[in-house]
Amino acid sequence: MARGRIRARIRRSHLYTFACLRPSTVEGDEPHPIQGPGYSRRVHCNASHMHKKQPLKYSSNYISTTRYNVITFLPKAFFEQFRRVANIYFLVAAICSLFEFSPFSPTSMIAPLAFVLGVSMAKEAVEDWRRFIQDLKVNARKVSVHKGGGVFGRKQWRKIRVGDVVKVEKDKFFPADLLLLSSGYEDGLCYVETMNLDGETNLKVKRSLEVTLPLDSDESFKDFAGVIRCEDPNPSLYTFVGNLEYDRQIYPLDPSQILLRDSKLRNTAYIYGVVVFAGQDSKVMQNSTKSPSKRSSVEKKMDRIIYVLLATLLAVSIISSMGFFIQTKYQMPDWWYLEPQSPQSCYDPAQAATSGFCHFVTALMLYGYLIPISLYVSIEVVKFLQAIFINQDINMYDEESGTPAQARTSNLNEELGQVDTILSDKTGTLTCNQMDFLKCSIAGTAFGVRSSEVEIAAAKQMAIDPAEQESVASSRLGASEIGLERVVTLADEQGPKPSIKGFSFEDSRLMGGNWMRESNADMILLFLRILAVCHAAIPEVNEETGDITYEAESPDEIAFLVAAREFGFEFVRRTQSSVFVRERYPSSGNPVEREYKILNLLDFTSKRKRMSVIVRDEHGQIMLMCKGADSIIFERLAKNGRTYEESTTRHLNEYGEAGLRTLALAYKPLDDAEYTAWNNEFVKAKTSIGVNREAMLEKVSDVMERELILVGATAVEDKLQKGVPQCIDKLAQAGLKIWVLTGDKMETAINIGFACSLLRQGMKQICISAMNSDANPDVKKAVKEDISMQITNASQMIKLEKDPHAAFALIIDGKSLTYALEDDMKHQFLRLAVDCASVICCRVSPKQKALVTRLVKEGTGKTTLAIGDGANDVGMIQEADIGVGISGVEGMQAVMASDFAIAQFRFLERLLVVHGHWCYKRITNMICYFFYKNIAFGLTFFYFEAVTGFSGQSIYDDWDMILFNVFVTSIPGHLARRV
């Protein structure tokens, strides 16, 4: 395969040391103990025919997300319809109409019921048909599958079986859960985008076993055979236990070799893999739980009204039948002229009790217009049309992404007009999840004069003029230099927006090579080189335009590389062990391409909160470059490396208050002897086998990442979505309470709150934070008591507030929330939160989001709406009464779990106010109309019968009158009467 051999191969074994690199599998490696319950799966590689019969007959790759199929549609749909009390009544009435004592013909009772059930079931069928069409499209996708003899052919996804060897090409989705055998890179590495699984846009790195690396062409699979023994299907996305029996050896498998269905291959020409889990057994399908059945409060209220009407109907029928019983037994013998020509039990004085029962059934049917069967038709029609209006609303169409609003279910439309509390995610929902390099601090000097959107929006909301804003900023900073940067002027607001994605920096001191004129030009040079070299990104060159774009595990890294390019240090390519940077200097006309040899790369993890790269430049100098969280970097600085610590700390605090994401940059020069001694220890730890390998690597790496010299700090901005402050402001004016659940730190969340109009000038803030705690139970008890005391004091402060117009905002961090959500404190916390106009929860986990949503929903008993854009918001969306998913860049997990989908947060206002209020008002008006009309109509006829003794059978003997009654109590009849 020429394409497989003529390509730029990157041997990343020198780079990834923590998450991705593991020691070579040798004969001494111990396989996993695969035995016992839960570990019974056996997969014969390249022999899918062995999985067509028991006991190895596994699930096919066909998937279905529909609620019904051809066989189950009728029983399931009927079950759903007859959960409604009114439908059960009309079914009983239709059955009774088959008997001779019925006042109606069977047609007149069965036809309206069949019409109502038909309309409701047709709506269910249409919605399920759409899901079926989506499944068809997915199942019809094609991928290359090994047919035998080293020949691959295209096959539909639904025909793939466990054991098949498949070839997936760049930018294609994996059709099933695969064991990675080899890739377009000669060391078996590939990049995977898991956006559809966990909502993360950053790329993951997977690596195959070294023993399967030679399987890098179609012909190499001609005689390939092996057996995989592994765990049974389960929903855990991040674990996998198994062994590969290949070439008379057993090799242990782990999650780094597993490619999950619905993730995408990126930055890799192709991969070969063998299917381990297919179809419903795949991990993504194991995680796809059915959405919970949600019923609107209007529907619940309508059920209560139906119960009232049924009780009234029973009372009227019982009274009427009692009267008929008395008349039949005591008066009918004297009414010789009413004697029936043929004996009938319904009119036989000798069987008065039976006659009374017959009349009771007859009365239930006669007064049946008390139960508004056409009300269900009217409401179903309104909901169905309302869903169409939402989907076709041009004012809710996002032109940038080409995404319209989508009502994924029409059962909750009217709930939108009853929302009391909105619980929202921040990143990707209130903000765009687009990182822009905005400011930086180098050698104690702040650069960047553009104000962040958070600062601009906060200044607007606080209604401070530019002069006052400068005064406030200066007092906050204590330095006129930074204070001048904080000035929000009309020119800043109305100035031209940057056309470079990821770069919003403005400062003439650094742009255009002017940095060389600064007094600390050597530190600036080092700062820019760290930006261009210290990363794990991959450049992609557009063959037509020659432009370079970057793919990285973090959007911050992309912003750093774009900034370095604009400053004159462009990262252009990466080889097996080197990074090439094209550097431009004003003194020389042509750019200079420099090579930095990558000796080691200590990757970023959530535990380390930093990454480092050890490089050797063209002059032979070895240097460690490091970037990470300021708290981590500052504690590792050398005594002579703290020259700029005070000023940099001041700048970092300012950037955090402006809602920016910050990182500190540092370096450390190394001599050859020092590096060689350390590298020997590092290689020894890297090649060790055992459970302590990661700990040994961390310990050795920590030794190197000490005695650093501080260079500066960066600040990137996650921009607000358009119209977010105005939308939140209008929703707050309408009386809706808004909670923001975010993973950001408290300072950033507070400034985002001001920018989003969630916090306003004059609003009193209540901040609840937990002191540091450890595993000591006594310390945890003290922390819990402290949080309880903070909540109690805050509640008391609100009660003692004398100003009736005073507004409070509650800000609580994740640690405090852990204790506040416990059973003995959660109601106390909820009472405090309900008394506040705004609530911001910081540093919260996905589980805490769902728990908070459940607490608000169950504790207040009012309608809640949750809105989010990522997989970490699914629990919150499903827990709320109404879930809204943002169709953004964080995958489709939130959208698939939601009841409604929109493209921008600002569309929420129109969804709630315009559509929700109209639908709620319309349906409640219909219910009230039906309720009062039917009560009055029924009591009138009951009074008429009681006075005249006339049963009204002759009036209702014709079924046309029944259909007429259905018509006049429906929407067309209502409109006709108004006309």
**Integer Cα distance of 860 and 191 in angstroms:** 46
774 and 653 assigned to the same domain: no
Average pLDDT over residues 266-284: 89
Residue 676's pLDDT band, with cuts at 50, 70 and 90, is very high
Nearest by Cα to 561 from 542, 578, 587, 579 = 579
CATH number of the domain at 552, please: 3.40.1110.10
738 and 855 assigned to the same domain: yes
pLDDT at 478 (0 to 100): 37
**Integer Cα distance of 260 and 177 in angstroms:** 4
**Integer Cα distance of 635 and 628 in angstroms:** 11
561 and 654 assigned to the same domain: yes
Q: Looking at 287, 317, 340, which one is the last position of a domain?
A: 287
712 and 761 assigned to the same domain: no
**Integer Cα distance of 419 and 880 in angstroms:** 11
Residue 963 in any domain: the answer is no
Residue 115 in any domain: the answer is no
The phi, psi pair for 142, rounded to 5°, reads -120, 150
Q: Looking at 919, 948, 963, which one is the last position of a domain?
A: 919
Q: What is the DSSP letter of 835?
A: T
513: helix, strand or coil? helix
Higher-confidence position of 211 and 339 = 211
407 and 448 assigned to the same domain: no
pLDDT at 473 (0 to 100): 39
**Integer Cα distance of 276 and 58 in angstroms:** 10
Residue 548 in any domain: the answer is yes
Higher-confidence position of 369 and 784 = 784
pLDDT at 968 (0 to 100): 42
pLDDT at 441 (0 to 100): 94
pLDDT at 49 (0 to 100): 83
424 and 442 assigned to the same domain: no
The phi, psi pair for 44, rounded to 5°, reads -95, 110
The number of helix segments (H) and strand segments (E) in the chain equals: 31, 33
Q: Looking at 253, 287, 321, which one is the last position of a domain?
A: 287
pLDDT at 961 (0 to 100): 41
Residue 295 in any domain: the answer is no
- What dihedral angle (degrees, nearest 10) is formed by the CA atoms of 776, 778, 783, 785? 160
626 and 668 assigned to the same domain: yes
Is residue 604 within 8 Å of 632, Cβ to Cβ? no
Does the pLDDT of residue 957 top 50, yes or no? no
Residue 711's pLDDT band, with cuts at 50, 70 and 90, is very high
CATH number of the domain at 251, please: 2.70.150.10
pLDDT tens digits for 132-177? 888 888 899 999 999 888 899 999 999 999 999 999 998 899 999 9
pLDDT at 940 (0 to 100): 57
Lowest mean pLDDT among 272-281, 300-309, 526-535: 300-309
pLDDT tens digits for 903-912? 888 888 888 8
**Integer Cα distance of 511 and 883 in angstroms:** 46
CATH number of the domain at 869, please: 3.40.50.1000
Nearest by Cα to 892 from 406, 300, 318 = 406
Residue 678 in any domain: the answer is yes
pLDDT at 846 (0 to 100): 77
Average pLDDT over residues 426-444: 84
Does the pLDDT of residue 971 top 50, yes or no? no
Residue 608 in any domain: the answer is yes
pLDDT at 712 (0 to 100): 94
Amino acid of residue 307 = Y
Using a cut of 0.85, tell me whether the model's pTM lies above it. no
Q: What is the DSSP code string of 843-895?
A: S--HHHHHHHHHHHHHHH-S-EEEEESSGGGHHHHHHSSEEEEE-SSS-SHHH
406 and 453 assigned to the same domain: no
pLDDT at 376 (0 to 100): 72
Is residue 895 within 8 Å of 887, Cβ to Cβ? yes
Residue 933 in any domain: the answer is no
Nearest by Cα to 611 from 552, 568, 569 = 552
Count of residues for the chain?
979
Residue 777's pLDDT band, with cuts at 50, 70 and 90, is low
Nearest by Cα to 844 from 866, 867, 876 = 876
415 and 459 assigned to the same domain: no
Average pLDDT over residues 34-62: 81
457 and 596 assigned to the same domain: yes
Query: Among residues 425, 869, 873, 881, which one is catalytic?
Result: 425
Residue 951 in any domain: the answer is no
Higher-confidence position of 360 and 624 = 624
Q: Which tokens is 228 given? A: 């995989």
pLDDT tens digits for 824-846? 898 999 999 998 888 999 878 77
Per the structure, the count of domains in the chain is 3
771 and 785 assigned to the same domain: yes
Higher-confidence position of 761 and 169 = 169
Boundaries of domain holding 808: 399-433+720-919
Q: Centre a 10 Å sphere on the Cβ of residue 100 and count the other Cβ atoms it contains.
A: 8
**Integer Cα distance of 859 and 831 in angstroms:** 9
pLDDT at 272 (0 to 100): 94
**Residue 786 falls in the annotated catalytic set:** no
Nearest by Cα to 861 from 300, 350, 414 = 300
**Integer Cα distance of 456 and 450 in angstroms:** 10
407 and 417 assigned to the same domain: yes
**Integer Cα distance of 617 and 638 in angstroms:** 23
pLDDT at 12 (0 to 100): 38
Q: Which tokens is 574 given? A: 């990466």
Does the pLDDT of residue 17 top 50, yes or no? no
Residue tagged 């390249």 (tokens) = 46
Q: Centre a 10 Å sphere on the Cβ of residue 744 and count the other Cβ atoms it contains.
A: 22
Average pLDDT, the chain: 78
Average pLDDT over residues 723-740: 85
